[in-house]
Amino acid sequence: MKHLLILVLNLIFFSLVSAQNQAQIDILLSKLKTIKDTARTKVLNDLSFEYHTLEPVKAIEYSTQALELSQSLSYTSGTAHSLWHLGLAYQSNLDYIQAQKYFYLALALEEKLNDPLGVARCLNSIGDVYKSRKSYKEAIKKYKRAVEIFEELGERKGTIDVLSNIAEVYHSLAKYDNALNFATKSLDLARVMGTTEGVEQASLILSEAYAKVGKYQEAYDYHLLHIRLRDSTLNVQKRKEINRIEDRFAKEKRDYEERIRNEKAKEEAKQAQIRRDNIQYAMIGIIFIALFGGIFFIGRFDIPQAYVESVIFITLLLMFRFFQVLLMPFADNYSEGSPLVMLLANVGLALLFMPVHGLLERRLKKKVFEETPQTEKLKVRPYLQERWKKFIGIKNKAETKE
């Protein structure tokens, strides 16, 4: 029953952590779309860190991208961080050989950069790999070097973590007094800092170590402390996750409403455009009817043939342009904006219109010039010539007076 309860609590904790990680992953993926260069390497490494407990293979992909980008930019600090994240991803994937390789490469670069914090972090990670491979003596060596650097830097959180790691290794070696010593140091420092996670981790080690040396009351007390802090952490994380879910729901609701409004506005604009186009097409149709009616009407006047042919040509040209405008959207959809395809579409339309143009031109000319008797045509030309002569005469008189 006890093991089942622990399993259930671990599953709840993992699900909460996974949900938190996913929320952070969504934020990082959004950032990744807009940033470049060195800032991009940091986001890629952050994505690798978020994925390393969930999907180690993805974490390896992101840290590899960060490493390649850092190297292409000659960004040494970014390269060191990418190597460390790559080692962490391989460690989560249980490939300790590769993990150790990349941690050592990162350590060499951090030492070259003279970054003591980076050096301590790499040493701690190398110690974790040795601990996982049960090379406990090598693990203790790396941990002790790391804790010395953390203490010199005043980096308490790193110190707490490494002290607990050393205590775990001594517990694995059955050196329970040493385990109690380092776990107590970690617990005291975590209490000073007020870090619940550090107290929880140290209290678990103390509970197990005291049980091994037969001090069951102390073991029970630290076990209760560990359970209380673990449950408290779960409750806090649960509340945070609920708030995060509510915020995400509110955001999705706002996005949905905004999308509906945009789609409605687009549909209204589309309908307005359709109405406008229909009105314009109707107007164009009326204009064409008026033009063709005008052509037949001017056939009753004695107008020079060249003028009538010009009117017929302009009318047919406008008709061609109308069909071109009418068919252009369909051609654009098929051509996807390709200039060559659009040109070929225009050529094809022109070739199709040529026989229609010839037929209409012949029929119109026949109607205007051949079917209307010359005697029935109104003498427009003499009338215009007479008006022009009078106009010139008035103008000449005015110039004479001056």
- Within a domain: 395: no
Q: Which of 129, 128, 226 minimizes the C-alpha distance to 183?
A: 226
Domain encompassing residue 362 = 299-387
- The answer to whether position 215 is within a domain reads no
Determine, yes or no, domain membership for 370: yes
> What does the alpha-carbon distance between residue 59 and residue 71 come to, in Å, rounded to a whole number?
18
C-alpha pair distances (Å), 76 with each of 46, 66, 109, 113: 17, 12, 8, 8
Least confident window among 85-94, 180-189, 295-304, 330-339: 295-304
pLDDT computed for residue 251 by the predictor? 67
pLDDT one-digit tens code per residue, 218-270: 888 888 888 887 776 655 555 555 455 555 656 666 777 788 888 888 888 88
Res. 210: pLDDT tops 90 = no
* Interacting residues of 229 by C-beta distance below 8 A, sequence separation 6+: 196, 199, 200, 203
- Where in 272-382 does DSSP place strands (E)? none
Question: Residue 130 corresponds to which amino acid?
Answer: Y
Pick 198 or 362 by higher pLDDT.
198
Residues 28-77 pLDDT 10s: 777 777 788 888 888 888 888 888 888 889 889 989 998 999 999 989 99
More confident residue, 27 or 17: 27
pLDDT of residue 17: 46
Task: Give the burial class of 126: count Cβ atoms within 10 A of its Cβ; 0-12 exposed, 13-18 middle, 19 or more buried.
Answer: buried
Q: Which residue has the tokens 């093991």?
A: 3
Q: How far, in Å, CA of 186 to CA of 178, rounded? A: 12
- Measured between alpha carbons, how far is 50 from 321 in angstroms, rounded to an integer? 60
pLDDT of residue 8: 43
| Run of H or E including 28 | helix 2-32
What tokens appear for 130 in the block? Answer: 């040795």
Mean pLDDT throughout 320-336?
Answer: 68
Examine the pLDDT at 380 and tell me if it is beyond 60. no
| Structural domain includes residue 314 | yes
Kindly state the tokens that stand for 328: 């252009």
What average pLDDT does the chain have? 76
For residue 254, tell me if it sits in a domain: no
CA 395 to chain centre: 77
pLDDT of amino acid 124 = 93
Residue 11's pLDDT is 43
Under DSSP, the state recorded for 376 is G
Count of domains in the chain? Answer: 1
What is the CB neighbour count within 10 angstroms for residue 256?
A: 10
Please tell me whether residue 378 adopts helix, strand or coil conformation.
strand
| CA count, 13 A, side-chain hemisphere, 297 | 6
What whole-number percentage of the chain has pLDDT above 70?
63
What's the whole-number mean pLDDT along residues 157-178?
91
Residue 291: inside a domain, yes or no? no
Whether 303 shows a pLDDT value over 50: the answer reads: yes
In a domain, residue 117? The reply is no
**pLDDT at residue number 53:** 80
In our burial notation (b when 16+ CB lie closer than 10 A, e otherwise), range 306-333 reads: eebeebbeebbeebbeeeeeeeeeebee
184 in Cβ contact with 173 (< 8 Å):
no
Phi, psi of 157 (to 5 degrees): -60, -45
Task: Spell out the residues 6+ positions from residue 367 whose beta carbon is closer than 8 angstroms to its own.
Answer: 296, 299
- Determine the Cα–Cα distance for residues 189 and 184; give it in Å rounded to an integer: 9
What is the predicted pLDDT for the residue at 226? Answer: 81
**Backbone phi and psi for residue 155, each to the nearest 5 degrees, phi listed first:** -85, 90
Spatial contact of 162 and 132, defined as CB atoms under 8 Å apart: no
- The tokens describing 360, both together, are 């209409």
Q: Kindly compute the dihedral angle of the four CA atoms of residues 391, 393, 394, 398, in this order, to the nearest 10 degrees.
A: 140
